[in-house]
Amino acid sequence: MSKLKIAILYGGRSVEHGVSINSARNIFEHIDTEKFEPVPIGITGRGIWYLTSSVGKNIDQGSELCVRLNPQHPEFIASDGRRILPDVVFPVLHGTDGEDGSIQGLLKAIDLPMIGTGVLGSSMSINKLVAKRMLKEAGLPVADFLFCNFGDPVFSFQQVRAKLGLPFMVKSANLGSSVGVSKVKNETEFAGAVQEGFRYDDCVLFEKFIDARELECAVLGNDPPEASLPGEIIISKNYEFYTFDAKYVDDQAVRIEVPARIDATVAGKIQDLSIKAYQTLCGQDFARVDLFLTSEGNVFVNEINTIPGFTDSSMFPVMWKERGISFTELITRLIDLSLKRHAGTKRIERDFMSDLKF
Exposure string over 274-285, b if 16+ CB within 10 A, otherwise e: bbbbbebbbbbb
**Is residue 355 one of the residues assigned to a domain?**
no
pLDDT at 143: 96
Same domain, 96 and 152: no
pLDDT at 261: 96
**Is residue 167 one of the residues assigned to a domain?**
yes
pLDDT at 58: 95
Mean pLDDT, the chain, rounded, equals: 92
Q: Residue 46 sits in a domain of what CATH number?
A: 3.40.50.20
Which stretches of 57-154 are assigned E, i.e. beta strand? 63-68, 75-78, 83-84, 88-91, 145-149
Residues (pLDDT < 50) of the chain are none
Same domain, 310 and 187: no
Same domain, 282 and 331: yes
**Is residue 351 one of the residues assigned to a domain?**
no
**pTM exceeds cut of 0.85:** yes
Task: Report whether 37 contacts 6 (CB < 8 A).
Answer: yes
Find, among 257, 263, 230, 240, the residue nearest to 313 by Cα: 257
Same domain, 204 and 261: no
The predicted-structure confidence for 210-241, as pLDDT tens digits, reads as follows: 999 999 999 999 989 999 999 999 877 776 66
Same domain, 194 and 316: no
Q: Which are the contacts of 3, defined by CB distance < 8 A and separation ≥ 6?
A: 33, 34, 35, 36, 37
Domain housing 253: 213-345
Same domain, 220 and 330: yes
**Is residue 123 one of the residues assigned to a domain?**
no
Which stretches of 115-261 are assigned E, i.e. beta strand? 145-149, 168-172, 181-184, 203-208, 213-220, 226-227, 231-235, 254-257
The predicted-structure confidence for 305-334, as pLDDT tens digits, reads as follows: 999 999 877 899 999 999 999 999 999 999
pLDDT at 246: 61
**Is residue 127 one of the residues assigned to a domain?**
no
- Helix or strand or coil: residue 335? helix
Same domain, 184 and 272: no
Q: Residue 327 sits in a domain of what CATH number?
A: 3.30.470.20
**Is residue 354 one of the residues assigned to a domain?**
no
The predicted-structure confidence for 132-143, as pLDDT tens digits, reads as follows: 999 999 999 999
∠ CA 192-197-200, rounded to 5°: 130
- Helix or strand or coil: residue 164? helix
pLDDT at 176: 62
- Number of structural domains the chain divides into: 3
Burial class (CB in 10 A: 0-12, 13-18, 19+), 251: exposed
pLDDT at 311: 82
Same domain, 174 and 240: no
Same domain, 31 and 155: no
∠ CA 348-351-353, rounded to 5°: 130
Q: Residue 176 sits in a domain of what CATH number?
A: 3.30.1490.20
Same domain, 333 and 294: yes
Same domain, 151 and 222: no
Of 114, 131, 156, the residue that ends a domain is: 114
**Is residue 310 one of the residues assigned to a domain?**
yes
CA distance 348 to 338: 17
